[in-house]
A and B are shown apart, each in its own frame.
Chain A
Amino acid sequence: MFQQKMIHSLFLINCSGDIFLEKHWKSVVSQSVCDYFFEAQEKAVDVENVPPVISTPHHYLISIYRDKIFFVSVIQTEVPPLFVIEFLHRVADTFQDYFGECSETAIKDNVVIVYELLEEMLDNGFPLATESNILKELIKPPTILRSVVNSITGSSNVGDTLPTGQLSNIPWRRAGVKYTNNEAYFDVIEEIDAIIDKSGSTVFAEIQGVIDSCIKLSGMPDLSLSFMNPRLLDDVSFHPCIRFKRWESERVLSFIPPDGNFRLISYRVSSQNLVAIPVYVKHLISFKENSSSGRFDVTIGPKQNMGKTVEGVVMTVHMPKAVLNMNLTATQGSYTFDPVTKVLTWDVGKITPQKLPNLKGIVNLQSGAPKPEENPSLNIQFKIQQLAISGLKVNRLDMYGEKYKPFKGVKYITKAGKFQVRT
């Protein structure tokens, strides 16, 4: 009786359906198992719509779609699917981290490292080392210089000593870190997810926030980060390095940081009155009955932007299938309409309150086609520098355990997440 636990095999598949890498942690599973996946893919039409869990007569296929690659894992028994999905995302993150991009080319160019990484990350289906710090000590990431040096000197990209972090109770940090410039940077990044209805009122809005850190500190620094208004944070996910008890009792983030880049916390602010909506959209999209044309008129303006400039504004609209092309004039920025995908993209740029950007013109429909029933949603992207829209503010950062004075910095940015305006 073979109780095959956890992840049995992994297949990487590109958008044209070629399996370009396979890795088996137990026995070899034939590629033909992917036929079930291809079947589901065909049914789903859009790549994004392939269901993540597919059952086949003898296996289950759990997949993620990242950077135009399907990571399809094969499992054979009851396994927590989230476990597998989280792990697959971790694999993709690691590729991104190692090769600068998670693409078919990058993976093929580094196939040996990829194989070594996969072997290091999973043993017998159990995740072994998934922390990038530890992995990088076991398997060195490729650099142009190193591959040249390696080919000349014959040295390898495999570390031959045990990563120090593996032994300690803080597996995320290696010992003996040394920097000449000691720095600690925190980026508070907030994304607004919102659905705005036709009339401009907010149907749903919440803020997804993260604090991404870049810490380059020597030795074993012990940091405490406190906020002006920690009450905002009532729904938080922490990096394992954070001492949960201190947060519970004092609302202070206390931790020995990993070395380098990592996500310290992610949080969600959903209380409606706290979520400011920084832009408004005035729109008129209409199709005439029995005529093959329609009108399109959209204006974007600033709303609750706390006195900061809204920039990087881009609007994308999936127009109905019957739309042939669009003749529009933009008072600002430029627009494109892809007649195949029916996607209208308007790159607006910065919003100046004095002269609001407007895009206006005629929509040409397929002649004879019925008037489109659906109303396209407007997808808005924007950025606001030096502002956390929730009002979250870092108070101070203290360091214990080391004597030097680090350079500290905090940056705030607000972006649109899934920001949709219904018409």
Chain B
Amino acid sequence: MTDSKYFTTTKKGEIFELKAELNSDKKEKKKEAVKKVIASMTVGKDVSALFPDVVNCMQTDNLELKKLVYLYLMNYAKSQPDMAIMAVNTFVKDCEDPNPLIRALAVRTMGCIRVDKITEYLCEPLRKCLKDEDPYVRKTAAVCVAKLHDINAQLVEDQGFLDTLKDLISDSNPMVVANAVAALSEIAESHPSSNLLDLNPQSINKLLTALNECTEWGQIFILDCLANYMPKDDREAQSICERVTPRLSHANSAVVLSAVKVLMKFMEMLSKDLDYYGTLLKKLAPPLVTLLSAEPELQYVALRNINLIVQKRPEILKHEMKVFFVKYNDPIYVKLEKLDIMIRLASQANIAQVLAELKEYATEVDVDFVRKAVRAIGRCAIKVEQSAERCVSTLLDLIQTKVNYVVQEAIVVIKDIFRKYPNKYESVIATLCENLDSLDEPEARAAMIWIVGEYAERIDNADELLESFLEGFHDESTQVQLQLLTAIVKLFLKKPTETQELVQQVLSLATQDSDNPDLRDRGYIYWRLLSTDPVAAKEVVLAEKPLISEETDLIEPTLLDELICYIGTLASVYHKPPSAFVEGSRGVVHKSLPPRTGSSESAESPEAAPSAGQAAEQPAVIPAQGDLLGDLLNLDLGPPVSGPPLAASSVQMGAVDLLGGGLDSLMGGSGFTAPGPAAPAAMGAPLGSGLGDLFDLTGGVGTLSGSYVAPKTVWLPAMKAKGLEISGTFSRQVGSISMDLVLTNKALQVMSDFAIQFNRNSFGLAPAAPLQVHAPLAPNQSVEISLPLNTVGSVMKMDPLNNLQVAVKNNIDVFYFSTLYPLHILFVEDGKMERQMFLATWKDIPNENEAQFQIKDCSLNADAVSSKLQGSNIFTIAKRNVEGQDMLYQSLKLTNGIWVLAELRIQPSNPSFTLSLKCRAPEVSQYVYQAYDAILKN
């Protein structure tokens, strides 16, 4: 006779049958029927249709039946609010029952029914129950206040329940105290501003007293509540610590971890000279280690927290390395965490043991674990200098195993060891080169290529090795492509005579045939460097590298301090502050460690870990929100340019004259020509084609009455901005420029507090108004904003000239991106020059300032061209027909007063137009041409 019988169904409608049974006269049958209903509920079947029939069974003396009906009600009352009213009378009656069990049950169930009408009836019984003579009822009622607050916060305040709840903190029964604290902290969390848990020395004392007596769960609530208290001085901090330490011996690991949190936080206030400080440190180690003997799930959470604690106070566990040794049947998630902590604890004293362990792990079965173990050996080498030699030989042993993924990981870490200890272990390069063919992972290939490039002078066949990679250049990942490009340039600079062809090949591959802007950019930069100044190229490419830091993947100190305040919570498992991932946590207050007080500050030894007070002075990665806008202004990248910006900088531009035979001279004219057919002349060519791509985006018509508007492109991908995606374009309409943005929230949390700031730029573009996003941006929502711009901002010449660096801030972080704006948004409405003036100016501007461009594949006739350009404030002053060609003479003026004169030659049979531009500031011509091209082709 088991309950499984309740799961059997008959062929007739199940619900129908249950309905009949529920309405049966026989008590026993009724009860059985309710049990069947509950059984269906447990497997997720919808039995809400039986609501009225089940509620009818509520009026009963049988406690079990009553409980079952209540169970049912809690599940379905929300979906059937009107029906739930039927139950009210019984509830109210039950709240008066002489049996405290029934009183408690009724008030508890009523609180679970989230229906407004019911809550009205709940107030009176709840008030009575909060003052009930029976503590079981009182503690149930305390929780009920939190439930009611969730449904109707105003009602709870109006009825004075909060005060009653506060009184319960002084209740004689510790279980009531614990539940009152739990309820208050829940309410306080949803109203961070309310001063509900008014923590003062008196109430703290009450909590500490209750702590000794209440249940384990209550202790967790009390400890978490204590952790939010800020003791007034180190004395008070110590006395609280003394009363909390016994909790470290509790059998419940959650109690232990909450106690650890309180201690870690208040310890911050204690002077390190105090004897008590040392005692406390010693007391913290054993409970943390004990957590590791619990079930694996508990171990995992404990390890994630220990990882934080070890970073904050390494001294606590420095002698406990061995407990983190991995057992072969630990779950993988425990193994990986243990390994991480082992590295953090590794020191000269224990490195031999650690290495022996790591070597053992490297022969295990689990691939992820083995990889991490191999990497860990590399981290040891970098962290503990004395061990480096042993680590390298261990890694070489591992390479000898020829196990593919082991070899690859080993090569990746050896690269880092080379960087850390230059000129020490290069003798192993030969061994590494033997394994070149087996590398199939991008990271390992990139590492190997780096090694070959870096030590090209010592590897006889470096060119052959690199050439072999070059064959499949297009199939490589970006990481490898970039590395290969750099390595070959390094090789070329070291052995220029034999490798011209190779470098030419890779530059052409990177700049001509690649879609990847990073690769292209790097290609062009190298190209220019090599062509203009090989000496400078050497200085740049073969520069001394900064040493890599000892500790990798350390948590940034301010974040670490915040996370210490969240020990034991989800934040500590994810190593992110709750504001970064908890839904609806807009109101979350950032917690911080208390500052050290008293005279202890000066006494602190200099090598001690930075206290919170000091940490606050260090530059934070994420600055406090109020300071953001101030900080943005400091993002300039070069010295300011005063006076007429473009004129002043034209000299500089001349110096960067591009492929002007620079490479040729370097190569001694050995036929090293600029590659590709699309490189007609001067600097326009390679750069132009790159930018052309940007504007070539077809589709999406933006032309209204104003200038041509390019379709929106993604400026800031969500991946790089914690879920915020920004796409946009620029437009000019009736004299005003605007930046048209679409902000899309691809994160899981709400975004708010947007602000925008531009870096200084060539034309002084600046937002004319703050970025107005009226409502917070919910996940998966987009908002379109038109940000008006003016040109009265600070000026600094940018390269490219139309580069605009933008910083956008929201409640999550600050993000930076740069974009290129089309120059025609700067063409002003009064850009039409008088005919005479045009002629005079044209003659006046020296011929060397004239630049010629081809606008290809344009099939418009002269008139269409003229009217199209006029839409974007390029004005045709005269039109001539010379030998069947149409010549258009045009003028335009930029916002900063620079005039540009143009001659556009259109041959009826030829889709290519020739554009000649003359300007006193010739460096703008390039961008004016781009604007022409973009306008005409759209």
Interface positions of A (Cβ within 8 A of B): 1-3, 5, 19-28, 31, 44, 46, 48-49, 51-53, 55, 57-58, 60, 63-65, 76-83, 85-87, 89, 105, 108-116, 119, 123-124, 126-127, 130-131, 138, 147-148, 151, 154, 156-158, 160-162, 166-167, 169, 171, 193, 195, 197, 203-204, 206, 208, 234-240, 244, 248, 263, 266, 268, 270, 318, 320-321, 373-375, 377, 379, 418, 420, 422
Contacts and interface: CB of A to CB of B under 8 A. Distances in A.
A48 B217 contact: no
Nearest to B214: A171
B39 to A, nearest CB: 5
B3 A110 contact: yes
Contact of A420 (B289, B296, B327, B331): B327
A263 B353 CA distance: 36
Nearest to A56: B748
A19 B44 CA distance: 9
Given A82-B253, A147-B1, A160-B99, 6 more contacts: A81-B568, A82-B301, A124-B147, A162-B134, A195-B327, A204-B322
B364 A64 contact: no
Nearest to B366: A49
Contacts of B189: 3, 5
A81 B573 contact: yes
Interface in B790-847: none
A232 to B, nearest CB: 13
Contacts of A63: 297
10 contacts: A5-B189, A27-B78, A64-B295, A78-B585, A80-B220, A111-B3, A169-B213, A203-B325, A238-B250, A374-B363
A21 B42 contact: yes
Interface in B216-253: 216-217, 220, 224, 246, 249-253
Interface stretch (B61-69, B273-281, B668-676, B849-857): B61-69
B331 A48 contact: yes
A174 B848 CA distance: 103
B67 A162 contact: no
A374 B250 contact: no
A253 to B, nearest CB: 12
Contacts, number: 265
Nearest to B586: A1
Nearest to B321: A204
A82 to B, nearest CB: 4
B101 A268 contact: no
Interface string B561-584: 000000011110110001001111
Contacts of B470: none
Given A49-B331, A115-B42, A81 B570 contact: yes
B527 interface: no
A interface: dominant SS: mixed
Given A58-B583, A169-B174, A124 B213 contact: no
Contact of A203 (B296, B322, B569, B573): B322
B425 interface: no
Nearest to A3: B190
Contacts of B332: 44, 46, 49
Nearest to B360: A422
A126 B4 contact: no
B184 to A, nearest CB: 12
Interface stretch (B135-143, B531-539, B641-649, B909-917): B135-143
B493 interface: no
Interface in B279-306: 286-287, 289-290, 293, 295-298, 300-302
- Of A26, A375, A379, chain B has the most CB atoms within 10 Å of the CB of A26
B481 interface: no
A318 B68 CA distance: 49
Interface string B142-181: 0110110010000000000000000000000111000100
Contacts of A22: 42-44
Contact of A375 (B3, B257, B289, B363): B363
Contacts of A321: 365
A166 B136 contact: yes
Contacts of A76: 583
A172 to B, nearest CB: 9
A156 B297 contact: no
- Of B2, B111, B246, chain A has the most CB atoms within 10 Å of the CB of B2
A347 B27 CA distance: 56
B323 A156 contact: no
A152 B173 CA distance: 41
A408 to B, nearest CB: 23
Contacts of A78: 569-571, 578, 582, 585
A285 to B, nearest CB: 13
Nearest to A417: B293
Given A3-B186, A166-B136, A418 B329 contact: yes
B396 interface: no
Nearest to A85: B297
A111 B363 contact: no
Interface string B47-64: 000000000000000111
Contact of B2 (A1, A110, A240): A110
A166 B190 CA distance: 30
B101 A160 contact: yes
Contacts of B150: 2-3
B403 A373 contact: yes
Contact of A126 (B143, B174, B331, B333): B143
B42 A161 contact: no
Nearest to A150: B1
Interface in B247-273: 249-254, 256-258
Contacts of A130: 215-217
B252 A86 contact: yes
Given A156-B62, A204-B322, A418-B329, A21 B300 contact: no
B34 to A, nearest CB: 9
B75 interface: yes
Given A86-B252, A195-B325, A235 B287 contact: yes
B473 interface: no
Contacts of A379: 329
Contacts of A268: 286, 289-290, 293
Interface string B431-458: 0000000000000000000000000000
A21 to B, nearest CB: 5
A82 B297 CA distance: 8
A204 B114 CA distance: 55
A239 B101 contact: no
A52 B301 contact: yes
A108 B4 contact: yes
- Of A23, A204, A239, chain B has the most CB atoms within 10 Å of the CB of A204
Given A82-B302, A268-B286, A112 B68 contact: yes
Interface string B390-412: 00000000000101000000000
B27 A154 contact: yes
Contacts of B469: none
Contacts of A25: 112
A277 B360 CA distance: 21
Contact of A373 (B251, B301, B401, B582): B401
A326 to B, nearest CB: 18
B213 to A, nearest CB: 6
B71 interface: yes
B296 A48 contact: yes
Contacts of A206: 323
Nearest to B182: A126
Contact of B64 (A26, A44, A157, A420): A157
> Closest 7 A-B residue pairs measured CB to CB?
A109-B2, A156-B64, A235-B286, A52-B297, A158-B64, A82-B254, A127-B217
A80 B333 contact: no
B42 A126 contact: no
Interface string B878-918: 00000000000000000000000000000000000000000
Contacts of B569: 78-81
A366 B68 CA distance: 59
B686 interface: no
B841 to A, nearest CB: 62
